[in-house]
Amino acid sequence: MAAVQALDPIAFKLGPLSVHWYGIILGTATLVGLWVAVREGRRHGWVSDVFFDMLVWVLPAAIVGARLYYVIFQWDYYAQNPMDIIAVWKGGIAIHGALIGAITAGYFYTRKKGIPFLQMADIVAPSLLLGQAIGRWGNFMNQEAHGGEVSRSFLEDLHLPDWIVNQMYIDGAYYHPTFLYESVWNVVGVAILVVLRKFNPRRGEIFFGYLIWYSLGRFFIEGLRTDSLAFDGPVWLEGVLEVLWSPMYVLFEPGAMAYGNIRTAQLVSVLTVIAAVAVIIVRRSTGRAKVKYLDAGEVPEAT
């Protein structure tokens, strides 16, 4: 068999500085998401400065949140190597942490600007999901966040181009392209959210729909991965998560876990779905969801 050549994770070099595809892809994801949000914001009469200003709040919070989340769930290592906590270039960020940081910063930004948080959240929800879809290709270039072993024929049966199949050849074996599964899932979610807003749903429900859609996909795809953040939890909780994931056994085997028995991302995803559905029900049943997505709302002033 001919040697399988992986793609170079380094895009180019500027003297001693190596520019990685991972950073380029994440930067592209941010810019594309910002552009989509600005376009939708204009339909609501919002100037682009509102989103540029928000990005100044949200982007640092997302980076810090992504790193802290990872560090917390790898504390045994970082407690012994505290200087590595800031060594982001060595890897170790988590999307759930980024979302927690970004949503928290976005909430305080909207409070400062005097606009409803859910109005802003609805506008940017498709942008978040699209950014996540693009960002997963950074994992592809780094040959990380993959699933368990599969055969080359399995990947070829998915009608994937050779450059994707070859990139999933790592240390003598082929692996599930879980980055691709999640990216495609997120793109489908973007389309659903765009269609949903044409029906003028109640304020907040596009955002909650985003949380539900992403979390459902993440729960099932996470079960295939071999690099999950995890912890040792009660046996009953392990059993609940296994039952919820059981439909996947028809076609797949779960990815091996390096440690722990509870995948953090799966637990967070389940809790997110429950919380989002509960909030929708409570807001509707208490009459707090009367305002629709396209109803005139607060228009932030330009700064």
Q: Which residues are annotated as a binding site?
A: 136
Residue 47 φ then ψ, to 5°: -80, 155
DSSP labels, the chain: -PPPPPPPSEEEEETTEEEEHHHHHHHHHHHHHHHHHHHHHHHTT--THHHHHHHHHHHHHHHHHHHHHHHHTTHHHHHH-GGGGG-GGG----HHHHHHHHHHHHHHHHHHHT--HHHHHHHHHHHHHHHHHHHHHHHHHHT-S-BSEE-HHHHHHTT--HHHHHHTEETTEEE--HHHHHHHHHHHHHHHHHHHHHT--BTTHHHHHHHHHHHHHHHHHHTTBSS--EE---HHHHHHHHHHHGGGGGT--PPPPSS-SEEHHHHHHHHHHHHHHHHHHHHHHTT---SBTTS----PPP-
* Distance from the first to the final alpha carbon of the chain: 61
Pair 117, 202: CB distance under 8 Å: no
Q: What is the C-alpha separation between 46 and 4, in angstroms, rounded?
A: 50
Pair 127, 39: CB distance under 8 Å: no
